[in-house]
Amino acid sequence: MAERDVLAVLGYPAWLAPVMVWTAGALLVAVVVFNAVRPKYRRLFGARAPLYALWNSTIPSIWVQIYLWLALIVLWTPIWWAARGIAALTDVGTATGWFVIAFGLFYATWLVRGFSGRSVNHEFDHLLASDDVPVSDAKRVAVIGAGMAGLVAAKELREEGHDVVVFERTGGPGGVWASSKSRGGMAWASTMTSTGALNSTLSDSVAEIHHPDHELFPHHLNRAEFLGLLESYQERHGVFDGSLRCNSEVETMAKLPGDRWSLRVRNHTTDIVEDEVFDAVTICTGLNKESFTPTIEGQDRFAGPQFHVEDYRPADAERFVGKRVLVIGMGETSSDVVKELADTGAEHVYVSQRGPTWIIPRDVGSLPPDHIENRLIHDGPMFHRFAMLVTGVAPFGLWPLLRPTRVKVHPFRYMFRILVMHHPKKWLLWRFGSLNWTKSDNLYFAIESGRATVVRGVDRLEEHRAFFADGREEDIDAIIYCSGYRPGASLLPPSPGATDGEVESPRSARDLYKLTMCPDHPNVAAVGFARGQIGAITLSTDMQARWWALVVSGKRSLPDQATMRAEAAKMRHNIRRFHQPTRTTLCFAYSIARNEIGCEPDLFKIFRTDPKFWFALFMGPICAAHFRLRGPHATPGLVREQIMRTNAVQSEDYVDSIDILSGALPMATLVTPAFGAWSRLLPGFNAQNATRSYV
C-alpha cells in the first residue's frame, strides 16, 4: 500500500500503517454516527438522518483526515528518528517504546500547562487591578474622524478618564455608513457588510445579529443595520456627549515643545480657523477618504459618461437601460453594481478584472464565510489554515454536497473561469495568500442571467470602445470605476531630521509600529487603518483603540523608536512578499491581545467550567467579543450573552460548515499542540502559529 511505502521511507515500523487506517476509519464512522443521532439531524431529516449524515460528512471528513494524518506524521518524524537513535545507542528499550513515552509525555505536559493556566499569557496580570481604574492625570486627546474607528477610540479614551474632543469634517457621525452624503456617507441602502453580523459587532456590547423579518441566522448587515449598531453603541456609552464637533476639519498638525500638538481646525459652518492644543492625537480618518480612479490610456477621449462608484446610487441604474456598461473592479461594491445594472435592464455589463481574485458566495454552508475563520482553522501555522479551508470547506463550498442549505450553490465553472481563466497570474495560484477576496453572490447571479461577462484589465479606451489586455475589444457606452479608495495624505509633519522635500512621516499604516503607533511620535496613533485581507475591520479597530487608550494612560509602554522603526520595516517587507499573517485581521488581533493588552482568552479554563460555551468559542468565528473575556475592562457576561444567542454561532435550521469541521476535533487535538511546539523551535513564516503573531 502507498501509505506503507511512505512510512517505510520515513523509517516508521510496519504496524503504524494499519493502526492509522483503522483509527481513521473509526473516526469517520464516529463522525457519521454522531451526526445521525444528533437532535438537529433527526429534526431536519427524520428517518433519513443516517443517510444525510453519511452524505454530508464523508467527503470533507476524508480529506481533512488525510491532511491531519500527514501533518501528524511529518511533525512526529524527527521524534521517531530520535527514538530510534536512543534505542540503538543505549541498547535500552525499543524505538517504539521511547516514541510512545515521548508522545505521552508531550501531550500530558500540554494538558497540565493548559489546565494550570500556563498556556495563556499572564504577563499583564499584575496590572489588572489598576487597569480598570481611571487615570488621575487625565490628558486632553484629539480624535480626528467620527466614523466607526473614531467612535471606538473615543469610547476607550473616555473610559480611561481622558478629556476627548472628536473632530468630524462632515455634518454628523457614521463615516462611510452615514445615511446621507452630507454626513460623509458613501454606502447606499442595499450595501452589505463584507463580513458576517457577528464579526461586525464591537467587543463590549450585545448587538442584534439576526434579521428581524425572516428566520434566525447570522447574516450580513445592511447600511441601516450597521449604522444602527454604531448609533446604539454611541448611545449606550455616551461617547459623543459633549465631545463631538461636526463640520470641523483638522487641516494641519504642528509639534509643540513638551511633546504636545497644535491642531489647526477649520469650522466649515462659520469658516473660522482656530488652533487647539492636545497632549495626544488619534487619527481615525479611515481608509475611504479619497476615491481612486486609475489612469487609462484614452480615458480623456471616451465619449460616454464615466464616474467613480462614490457618485453612484441604485436609482442611477435606470440611466443605463439598454446600454453596454464597463465596470472596472471586482470587489463587493462592484458585484452589487453589476447585479443592479443587469436586473434593471442594461444590455450587457462587462466586469474588468485586473488582478487575481477569489470570489466566494456571501454565504458558504448556510453561514457567512468568516464563520469558518475559527480557532480550529487558525490554531496552527498559516499553511494549516489554508489546508483546512481547502480540504474541509472547498468540497461543500464549491459543489452542492450539503443538504439542506439556505443559499444557492453556484456552478463551480463560474468560480473556475473567474479565478483561473480570466486573471493574468494564473500560474501563481499556489500563492493563495496573495489573491484578492470578494464575498458576493451578486456577480454570479449577473453572470447566470447572461447579462454580465468577466473580462481582463483595460488596456486602452477610444471614443466608444474598450480594448482589453488579452486583445478583446468591446463597444462601451459608459464606465463605472469601482476601483476603491485611498486613506488620503498624512496629517503628520515631516519627521525630525528630514531634508527639504523629503517627507518621512507615515503615509500609510505600513509605516506604523504594529499598524498603529507612530515611531517618531509615540503620542500619535492611527486607528482603523489595520484592515486585513481576511477578517472584520471592527475587530482590528477595537483592539487598536483599546491598546492606544492604555498607552495614553501610561498603563502600557512602547519600545524605543529604533525598535518600532525596525518592526515597521519588517511589516512592509512581509506585505510586499504577500505573507498571509500580515494580511489577516485575526492574526493581528491575537498579536495585540497577547503581546500588548493581555486579554487572550483562556480556553482551557472555559472548557473546564463551561464546555458548551467553549465549543462556541472554539468552533465559532474569532470575533471582537472573544477578547473581553479577560484583561482590562473585561465583560465576560456580555460576551457570553452575545455568543450564546440562538443561532449566533451555528445555524440550527441548516447543515453548515461547523457541522462538518467539528469532525476534525479529535485529530486537531493531536496536531495543533505539535504545531505550537515546532513554532518555538523554527520561528518564521512557515512555522508561526497563526493566532500568535502577525509578522
pLDDT > 90 fraction of the chain, expressed in percent and rounded: 40
Q: Are 235 and 243 in contact (CB under 8 A)?
A: no
> Which homologous superfamily is 292-361+410-486 in?
FAD/NAD(P)-binding domain (3.50.50.60)
Q: How far apart are CA 351 and CA 333, in angstroms?
A: 12
Whether 129-289+488-494+504-654 and 292-361+410-486 share one fold: the answer is yes
Write down the residue that cell numbers 497632549 correspond to: 279
Contacts of 695 (CB under 8 A, 6+ apart): 567, 570, 571, 574, 581, 582, 591
Contact 358, 435 (CB under 8 A): yes
What is d(CA 477, CA 304) in angstroms, rounded to the nearest whole number?
5
- Comparing 607 with 392, the larger pLDDT belongs to 607
Bridge partners (DSSP) of residue 453 are 350
State how far the Cα of 632 lies from the Cα of 6, in Å rounded to an integer. Answer: 50
Contact 333, 312 (CB under 8 A): no
499 pLDDT more than 50: no
Q: Are 586 and 691 in contact, with CB atoms under 8 Å apart?
A: yes
Residue 575 confidence (pLDDT): 62
Least confident of 607-611, 616-620, 649-653: 649-653
- Mean pLDDT score of the chain: 84
**Is residue 417 predicted with pLDDT exceeding 70?**
no
Would you state the torsion angle of the CA atoms of residues 504, 508, 510, 513, taken in this order, to the nearest 10 degrees?
70
Q: Which helix (H) or strand (E) holds 256?
A: strand 248-256
Euclidean distance between CA atoms 321 and 323, whole angstroms: 5
- The 3-class SS string of 529-568 reads CCCCCECCHHHHHHHHHHHHHHHHCCCCCCCCHHHHHHHH
Of all helices (H) and strands (E), which one includes residue 277? strand 272-278
Distance CA 509, CA 529 (A): 6
Residue 429 has pLDDT above 60, yes or no: no
In this prediction, residue 410 carries a pLDDT of 63
Q: Which amino acid is at 402?
A: L
Q: Tens of pLDDT along 211-226?
A: 766 566 667 888 888 9
pLDDT value of residue 560:
93
Residue, of 533 and 338, whose pLDDT is higher: 338
pLDDT tens column, 31-42: 889 889 999 999
| Tens digit of each residue's pLDDT (9 = 90 or more) over 247-271 | 999 999 999 988 899 999 999 999 9
Residue 263: beta bridge partners? Answer: 253, 276
Rg from Cα positions in the chain:
27
3-state secondary structure of 103: helix
| More confident: 378 or 616 | 616
DSSP per-residue letters across 581-625: GGGBHHHHHHHHIIIII-----HHHHHHH-HHHHHHHHHS---GG
Q: What is the pLDDT of residue 685?
A: 52
Nearest CA among 405, 389, 410 for reference residue 335: 410
C-alpha cell recorded at residue 13: 515500523
| Mean per-residue pLDDT, 22-28 | 88
Q: How far apart are CA 672 and CA 376, in angstroms?
A: 8
Distance, in Å, from the CA atom of 59 to the CA atom of 74, rounded to the nearest integer, reads: 23
Residue 115 CA to residue 118 CA, distance in Å, equals 8
Domain assignments of the chain as residue spans, ordered by start: 129-289+488-494+504-654, 292-361+410-486
Looking at this protein, which amino acid is placed at residue 370?
A: D
Class of domain 129-289+488-494+504-654: alpha beta
Is this prediction's pTM over 0.85?
Answer: yes
